[in-house]
Every structure is written in structure tokens, then in C-alpha cells.
């Protein structure tokens, strides 16, 4: 693949060309030259886009694709195309398929589906067989087949001994164990944050305590086992503080937050719009402020779209009975770019690959190109015309956002809108 990119602002703090406008010559998928004015002597394909910015390829640590089992929601190929058009060059796919990704053969199937795409797919294997929390899955075999981590998607590990054993076992092969932060004995089927809003709306509440207790327990187990733990999609101020203190103790813990938990509070629930029914629930402003501070100071390692396509019949019903989840890939960059500066947004989106066994590739001469292309300017209101996913259940519908994505260049391929 030979391409000449013209007049691109490079946003890459690890590159000597950071925050400068340059031409970028790509030959055989390698960056051969970066300079202010490169002549197209070989008549390569030119990319010349309005206010073009380029960075290292973006990473999302939590996406759901329906294949196998729920292809009507999103197939792997369609999901990867959605990721590419949203600026992501690498995504970690959750195990909530049918059958669950709990064996090396299932991991191999998913990997084979994605092998020729521009976007790199990292399957997350189930932690327990059929994600039932009863017996450990084939973690080592799945790791060898390409699994990047292990979790029972959105299901807490209720048996503390199960998590202890998983952390100890995975440490033998540098395996990363997820533990979803919710104590079900406290949350008790709560569908929204427990506070005055849940009482006013007559909806069952899920208190901060349910998350904080689980995080505290898991961190004690991590310290005991000396394992490697990832706590996905935290949503409370208490969790941020617990993880901050754990990192001061040098525990090997990472965590993520969903973009919508940085953007919305439970005040939006007054319309009973089921697109706002997410797991964990939207919290209050105090929690949002703590989460944003956690992103800024590095306590929170990753920000995820938590992309979860769902059919309309699963969302367009009474709030109590609607499924949890929102799509998020298409709105991810613009939502973050609305909250943070472009440099911070790119820093967030390019952070965390190493935790999942992937190397970062800077925008520098001699490196293979793995890049996201975007325009940080321009305000718009997000609507269904911005959605590429087969499902349209977006929490960001009718929300003013800033910035747009052109596409990606990765794996010897280019995908642009």
C-alpha cells in the first residue's frame, strides 16, 4: 500500500513531529518520510482532507459483536467496519456470544473471521464455562488461541474463591482477569442509580455501595494472589478512590470507564428513554466529576465505548424490562472530544493497548502505519445518520457533539468514509 497524506496535523506525544503539520509518505505500509512538503513523484494515491489530523490507531477495550449467535444485532465483519469508520484500529471483543467464547476453538473462530480486516480484533475469553461462574474455562488454551483477557461479561464473580483461583492460575501465563464490579446481593436487580431520581421515577435502585464493595473485595484478592486484574466500566467516586489507593500500593490493577458514564448523569432518566438504561447505571454529578478526575490523573487507565448493539424489540419496551446497553463506537471520539481537548482525547483513545499485549506504533519514519484520521473541529447533533451499526440503540442520539472521524489506515488497508 502506497499513499501520500497531505497537510496532516500529527497528534502523537511520542513522535518528534507531534503537534506539527506534515506530509506523510507511506510505502508498502511503512512510513518512509515525514516532511512539510513531499512531492508525489510516484503518482501515489493522495489523501487531502479538510483539517486532517492523524494519530496512533485508537483502541477500545470493550465491544460486543453478535457473532456467533446474534448476527442480527451485529456480525463481526460489520462490527469491525463500524470500528474502522469510528477511528478504531484495535478492539477487544467481549465473550457474550452464543455459544459463549469459552474454548480455544471458539476463540479461533472469531480470530479467523477477522483475520483479513484493517481492524485488529482481540477476543476476550469467558472466565468460566458458559459464563455461569461455576467452573473455570479453558483459560490457558484460549490464551494460546489468541484470547487477550478473560471475563464473564457484565457478570460479577460472586464466589470469591473462584476469583482467587482464577488470578492465581492466570498469573502462570501472564493472563489478564476481568472482574465486573457489582455485588448482586446489594444491587438486587436495581435498574438505575439509587437516589432521589430512582425514588421519584418509581424504578429499582442500584446503589454505589454495590460497586464499591465488589471493588474492595477484588482488590484484597488481588493483593493476596499477586495476580493481574482489570476492573471494567467503573461508575462511582468510591471505586475511583479505592483503585487510586491500590495503585499507590503497586498492585497490578487497571480499570476502565464507559464514555457515557463520563457524559451523562441520571437526570436524563426522566424521559424513561431506554437508551439510557446501561450497566453500570448512570450516576450523579459527584460520581461523574470523580470519574473525569480519574481519567485526567491516570487512575482510570482506559475509556471504552462499551459498544453493545441490541435489537429494537429489546429496547423499545417498558424501562424495567428493556435490556441494558448502548452502541458507542460511532459517538466515541466526538463525545470525548466534547469533554476534553483534542490532545487529551487522543491520549485517552491510544492508551492501554500494552495491557492487552499490543504494541503502540508512533507516527515516525520507519514504523509501520497504524493510524486514525479525524477532524477535531465542527459541531453537530448526533443522530441515526451518524450510525453505521446494524442496531441503532445509541445513548447519544440528539446530543450535541464535536469533531468527526475520517477513518483508519492499518494492516495494509485504508478505510475512509
Question: Which of 102, 297, 306, 323 is labelled catalytic?
Answer: 306
CATH 3.20.20.140 placement within the chain: 58-356
Q: Are 158 and 179 in contact (CB under 8 A)?
A: no
pLDDT for the residue 347: 98
pLDDT score, position 164 = 98
Instruction: State the Cα–Cα distance between residues 20 and 8, nearest whole angstrom.
Output: 8
> Which three three-digit cell numbers place residue 102?
469459552
Decide if 306 is catalytic: yes
How far CA 197 is from CA of 279, 282, 283, in Å, comes to 17, 11, 10
417 residues of the chain, pLDDT tens digit each: 999 999 999 999 999 999 999 999 999 999 999 999 999 999 999 999 999 999 999 999 999 999 999 999 999 999 999 999 999 999 999 999 999 999 999 999 999 999 999 999 999 999 999 999 999 999 999 999 999 999 999 999 999 999 999 999 999 999 999 999 999 999 999 999 999 999 999 999 999 999 999 999 999 999 999 999 999 999 999 999 999 999 999 999 999 999 999 999 999 999 999 999 999 999 999 999 999 999 999 999 999 999 999 999 999 999 999 999 999 999 999 999 999 999 999 999 999 999 999 998 999 999 999 999 999 999 999 999 999 999 999 999 999 999 999 999 999 999 999
Cβ(193)–Cβ(282) under 8 Å? yes
Query: Does the predicted TM-score (pTM) go above 0.95?
Result: yes
Assign domain 3-54+363-416 to its CATH superfamily: Urease, subunit C, domain 1 (2.30.40.10)
- pLDDT score recorded for residue 31: 98
Which residues in 239-252 are b (16+ Cβ under 10 Å) and which e?
bbebbbebbeeebb
Please name every residue paired with 216 in a beta bridge, in sequence order, or none if there are none: none
The helices-and-strands tally (H runs, E runs) of the chain is 13, 18
Cα maximum dimension of the chain: 68
* Domain limits, CATH 2.30.40.10, in the chain: 3-54+363-416
pLDDT for 314: 97
Asked if 64 and 307 touch (Cβ cutoff 8 Å), the reply is: yes
Contact in structure between 11 and 19 (CB atoms under 8 Å):
yes
58-356 topology per CATH: TIM Barrel (3.20.20)
DSSP secondary structure letters along 100-139: -S-SHHHHHHHHHHHTTSSSEEEEEEPSBGGGSSSSB--H
Amino acid at each position: 500500500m502506497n499513499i501520500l497524506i497531505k497537510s496532516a496535523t500529527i497528534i502523537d506525544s511520542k513522535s518528534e513531529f507531534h503537534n506539527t503539520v506534515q506530509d506523510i509518505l507511506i510505502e508498502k505500509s511503512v512510513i518512509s518520510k515525514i516532511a512539510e512538503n513531499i512531492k508525489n513523484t510516484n503518482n501515489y494515491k493522495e489523501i487531502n482532507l479538510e483539517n486532517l489530523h492523524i494519530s496512533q490507531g485508537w483502541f477500545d477495550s470493550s465491544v460486543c459483536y453478535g457473532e456467533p449467535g446474534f448476527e442480527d444485532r451485529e456480525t463481526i465483519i460489520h462490527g469491525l467496519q463500524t470500528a474502522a469508520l469510528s477511528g478504531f484500529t484495535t478492539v477487544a471483543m467481549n465473550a457474550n456470544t452464543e455459544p459463549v467464547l469459552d474454548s480455544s476453538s471458539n476463540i479461533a473462530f472469531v480470530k479467523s473471521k477477522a483475520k483479513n480486516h484493517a481492524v485488529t480484533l482481540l477476543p476476550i475469553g469467558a472466565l468460566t464455562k458458559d459464563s455461569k461462574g461455576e467452573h473455570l474455562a479453558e483459560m490457558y488454551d484460549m490464551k494460546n488461541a489468541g484470547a487477550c483477557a478473560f471475563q464473564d461479561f457484565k457478570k460479577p464473580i460472586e464466589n470469591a474463591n473462584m476469583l482467587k483461583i482464577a488470578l492465581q492460575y492466570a498469573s502462570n501465563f501472564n493472563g489478564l482477569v476481568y472482574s465486573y464490579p457489582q455485588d448482586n446481593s446489594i444491587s438486587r436487580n436495581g435498574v438505575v442509580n439509587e437516589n432521589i431520581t430512582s425514588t421519584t421515577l418509581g424504578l429499582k435502585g442500584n446503589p454505589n455501595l454495590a460497586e464499591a464493595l465488589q471493588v474492595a473485595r477484588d482488590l484484597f484478592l488481588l493483593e493476596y494472589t499477586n495476580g493481574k486484574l482489570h476492573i471494567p466500566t467503573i461508575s462511582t467516586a468510591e471505586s475511583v478512590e479505592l483503585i487510586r489507593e491500590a495503585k499507590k500500593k503497586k498492585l497490578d490493577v487497571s480499570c476502565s470507564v464507559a464514555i457515557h458514564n463520563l457524559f451523562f448523569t441520571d437526570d436524563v432518566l426522566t424521559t424513561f428513554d431506554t437508551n439510557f438504561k446501561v450497566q453500570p447505571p448512570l450516576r450523579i454529578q459527584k460520581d461523574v466529576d470523580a470519574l473525569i478526575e480519574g481519567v485526567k490523573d491516570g487512575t482510570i487507565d482506559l475509556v471504552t465505548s462499551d459498544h453493545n448493539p441490541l435489537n429494537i424489540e429489546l429496547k423499545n419496551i417498558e424501562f424495567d424490562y428493556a435490556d441494558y446497553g448502548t452502541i458507542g463506537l460511532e459517538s466515541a471520539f466526538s463525545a470525548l472530544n466534547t469533554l476534553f481537548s483534542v490532545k487529551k482525547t487522543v491520549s485517552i483513545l491510544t492508551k492501554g493497548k500494552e495491557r492487552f499485549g499490543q504494541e503502540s506504533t508512533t507516527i515516525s519514519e520507519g514504523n509501520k502505519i497504524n493510524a486514525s484520521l479525524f477532524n477535531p473541529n465542527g459541531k453537530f447533533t448526533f443522530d441515526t445518520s451518524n450510525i453505521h451499526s446494524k442496531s441503532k440503540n445509541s445513548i447519544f442520539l440528539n446530543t450535541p457533539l464535536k469533531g468527526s472521524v475520517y477513518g483508519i489506515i492499518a494492516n495494509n488497508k485504508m478505510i475512509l468514509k
